[in-house]
Amino acid sequence: MNPENFATRQSKMFSLIESWKTSGQSQHIFCKEHAIVYSNFHYWYKKYREQQQGDPGKAFLPIKIKKLVGSSSELGVMELLLANGHRLIFYQLVDVSYLRSLVG
């Protein structure tokens, strides 16, 4: 599929997905009424969610480690800043495996 056809198809399917979201219908019924193959609907719904959430491959930002100036301890608060603007704040050092379990 050439890029122009893909963009047209994407636009059409995203519009249908938005219609489904406000329809109150199940996905199966919506697909039957609009003659959409259910597996195709899910393919485009996945693309739609990815676009709405941003690129999951870019969900992490570089880690910056700063020593707290004037602190009597080198142990400081840990903060994990997610690409969507949410923050996880830790008031003690946390093992990397625990962080992986939270975001993985």
Q: What pLDDT was estimated at residue 29? A: 92
pLDDT greater than 70 at residue 33: yes
Integer CA distances (angstroms), 60 to 22, 48, 96, 100, in order: 32, 21, 14, 12
| Per-residue pLDDT tens digits for 86-95 | 777 777 777 7
For the beta carbon of residue 94, count every other beta carbon within 10 angstroms. 13
Residue 75 confidence (pLDDT): 47
Q: What does the domain layout of the chain look like in residue ranges? A: 3-53, 55-104
34-80 pLDDT per residue, tens: 999 999 999 999 888 888 876 555 555 556 655 555 555 444 567 77
Amino acid of residue 29: I
